[in-house]
A and B are shown apart, each in its own frame.
Chain A
Amino acid sequence: MTEPATKLVPTPGQTIGPFYGYALPYEKDSQLVHRAHPGSIRLHGTVYDGNGDPIPDSLLEIWQADEDGRIVQETGSLVRDDHTFTGWGRAAVDNVGHYTFTTVNPGATEEGKAPFIAVVVFARGLLNRLFTRIYLPEDTAALAGDPLLSSLPEERRRTLIAGREPNGDLRFDIRLQGADETVFLSFPGA
């Protein structure tokens, strides 16, 4: 991919601050599918600071393909009808820094490609948003061939791969700082 010729300078970001709680969360915001949807899973984890303490005022958003790897362009994320899959969801962490999404495992968007969920992290104290990815753990051949993962040393690479729990749920903790700091991404044109 070539670097686009960016002509305008982007507006700076700022922290989400402490008081988003009455503004951004909404009913069913974290339910990309209904819990009764066949193949529904819980994607959950905890967001930690540099002391290893949970962050109680962070907000996450995910954006993903459906089970067949299709990228959908359906509206209706803000008014969930429990039928339309929009691929996007939002979850504020609870008082102990824990988040939960109800979703499906994304399929590979291209043959042989490692499926992942795109994530953006906001928090009080975090002056600009952070991007990362949650890779599914199963397709080890695809993970080995993934351009991003294969550009990382092993101890960094594993911060991007979710754990599969015995009941099929995905576990993915996010560490904003410290020895096991999650890999956060920057993109061309930023």
Chain B
Amino acid sequence: MPANTDESFDESHVIESGAPVTDSDAAADTQDVISEQIAAIHEAYAKAKADGAAEETQPRIDFPPYRSSILRHPTKDLHHTDPETIELWSPAFGHRDVHPLEADLTIQHNGEPLGERIVVQGRILDGDGRPVRGQLVEIWQANAAGRYIHKRDQHPAPIDPNFTGVGRCITGDDGSYSFTTIKPAPYPWKNHHNAWRPAHIHFSLFGTDFTQRMITQMYFPGDPLFALDPIYQSITDQNARDRLVATYDHNLTSHEWNTGYRWDIVLSGSNRTWMENEEAE
């Protein structure tokens, strides 16, 4: 794998000061350059919003401070259309697909993983507030040292033989999910020089309609890396960014065992015509 197609940490990557940026993944810029670009985009958004533009709720897909987005975003507008037939339904998953123990990422090996044991719990709702029932949730994350099991992650932090960092569950009737895991650490990447991602857990989510399919990242409150991270900051509105940050919840913390975080997720609205009995089920 050539270094310029991979965001993972790469020791061989030498930063040459003053060298022109010829490669969107060249890691040549300083944090100051990235932060200035982020600030300029956010300022323009704040001004547009003050002038009456709509509040943005999703990330920009065209966000140059995240260098690898430059060649990987459509430049034409998304084509607005009504969902039809198959798009109004979602694939079905169930307990045939996922064993309940897959929601505990701390019991997948012989020993206890290192790090802070946490419970992450919440509900998945659609845009109309209906719980998303019996649906698949997948998560993946770095370990307590900021290292992914992925073979291309070459960050010289230790792999934990007792932690893979992959979990799944099926939501309950109230749309609830719950994972037991280890708090991930921040890790370096090479978007720019000395770039670090805030600690996060990747979430993959399905709704009742295929059009609700999404992948996102959950962050931890108070992370000092938020302001510096072009992926988090690709969401230009603070209200929207806050929706990706879990809340510490002492009710999910258990005595001498784990700390707890709560994070609720809202999918886009369902476009299916819901039967009354489906609503009331």
Q: Which residues of A contact B104 (CB under 8 A)?
A: none
Q: Which residues of A contact B243 (CB under 8 A)?
A: 9, 11-12
Q: Which residues of A contact B94 (CB under 8 A)?
A: 75
Residues of chain B from 31 to 71 with CB closer than 8 A to chain A in the complex: 57-61, 63, 66, 68-71
Q: Which residues of B contact A126 (CB under 8 A)?
A: 61, 69, 72-73
Determine if A6 and B202 form an interchain contact, defined as CB atoms under 8 angstroms apart: no
| Other-chain contact of B68, A7, A88, A124, A131 (Cβ < 8 Å) | A124
Q: Which residues of B contact A16 (CB under 8 A)?
A: 202, 215
Q: In the bound complex, how far is the Cα of B4 from the Cα of A51, in angstroms?
A: 14
Q: A78-B98, A113-B85 given as contacts; is B59 within 8 A of A125 (CB)?
A: no
Determine if B267 and A11 form an interchain contact, defined as CB atoms under 8 angstroms apart: yes
Closest to A71 in B: B89
Residue B247 at the chain A interface, CB threshold 8 Å: no
A122-162 vs B, Cβ < 8 Å mask (1 yes, 0 no): 11111111110000000000000001100110001000000
Q: Majority SS of interface residues in chain B?
A: loop
Q: Which residues of A contact B59 (CB under 8 A)?
A: 12-14, 127-128
Closest to A131 in B: B211
Closest to A16 in B: B215
Count A interface residues, CB 8 Å.
82
Q: Which residues of A contact B125 (CB under 8 A)?
A: 8
Q: Which of A8, A106, A131, A147 has the most CB of B within 10 A?
A: A8
Q: Which residues of A contact B164 (CB under 8 A)?
A: 22
Determine if A4 and B128 form an interchain contact, defined as CB atoms under 8 angstroms apart: yes
Q: In the bound complex, how far is the Cα of B210 from the Cα of A130, in angstroms?
A: 12
Residue A190 at the chain B interface, CB threshold 8 Å: yes
Determine if A7 and B73 form an interchain contact, defined as CB atoms under 8 angstroms apart: no
Residue B74 at the chain A interface, CB threshold 8 Å: yes
Q: Which residues of B contact A122 (CB under 8 A)?
A: 215
Q: In the bound complex, how far is the Cα of B73 from the Cα of A181, in angstroms?
A: 10
Residue B228 at the chain A interface, CB threshold 8 Å: no
Determine if A185 and B85 form an interchain contact, defined as CB atoms under 8 angstroms apart: no
Determine if B231 and A15 form an interchain contact, defined as CB atoms under 8 angstroms apart: yes
Q: In the bound complex, how far is the Cα of B92 from the Cα of A86, in angstroms?
A: 8
| Other-chain contact of A130, B74, B81, B128, B165 (Cβ < 8 Å) | B74
Q: Which residues of A contact B136 (CB under 8 A)?
A: 78
B227-268 vs A, Cβ < 8 Å mask (1 yes, 0 no): 000011011000111011000000000000000000001111
Determine if A64 and B86 form an interchain contact, defined as CB atoms under 8 angstroms apart: yes
| Other-chain contact of B85, A9, A50, A71 (Cβ < 8 Å) | A71
Determine if B92 and A23 form an interchain contact, defined as CB atoms under 8 angstroms apart: no
Determine if B7 and A12 form an interchain contact, defined as CB atoms under 8 angstroms apart: no
Rounded to whole Å, the gap between the CB of A67 and the closest CB of chain B is: 14
Q: Which residues of B contact A110 (CB under 8 A)?
A: 85
Determine if B74 and A125 form an interchain contact, defined as CB atoms under 8 angstroms apart: no
Determine if B61 and A187 form an interchain contact, defined as CB atoms under 8 angstroms apart: no
Rounded to whole Å, the gap between the CB of A120 and the closest CB of chain B is: 5
Q: Which residues of B contact A63 (CB under 8 A)?
A: 86-87, 89-91, 210
Q: In the bound complex, how far is the Cα of B129 from the Cα of A110, in angstroms?
A: 30
Determine if A120 and B213 form an interchain contact, defined as CB atoms under 8 angstroms apart: yes
Residue B82 at the chain A interface, CB threshold 8 Å: yes
Determine if B215 and A14 form an interchain contact, defined as CB atoms under 8 angstroms apart: yes
Q: In the bound complex, how far is the Cα of B24 from the Cα of A125, in angstroms?
A: 10
| Other-chain contact of A65, B85, B139, B204, B265 (Cβ < 8 Å) | B85
Q: Which residues of B contact A184 (CB under 8 A)?
A: 74, 78-79
- List 10 A-B pairs, minimum CB-CB distance, nearest first: A189-B269, A23-B140, A125-B68, A88-B91, A125-B72, A75-B94, A78-B97, A109-B85, A186-B78, A50-B71
14 A-B contact pairs sorted by A residue (CB < 8 Å): A10-B267, A11-B214, A11-B243, A13-B59, A22-B148, A64-B86, A75-B94, A79-B96, A109-B86, A120-B213, A122-B215, A125-B70, A187-B83, A189-B271
Binding site for B on A (CB under 8 A): 1, 4-24, 49-51, 53, 55-57, 61, 63-65, 71-79, 86-88, 95, 106, 109-110, 113, 116-118, 120, 122-131, 147-148, 151-152, 156, 176-178, 181-190
8 other A-B residue contacts (CB within 8 Å) besides A8-B128, A20-B202, A177-B74: A4-B271, A6-B127, A11-B243, A19-B152, A56-B1, A64-B86, A120-B213, A184-B78
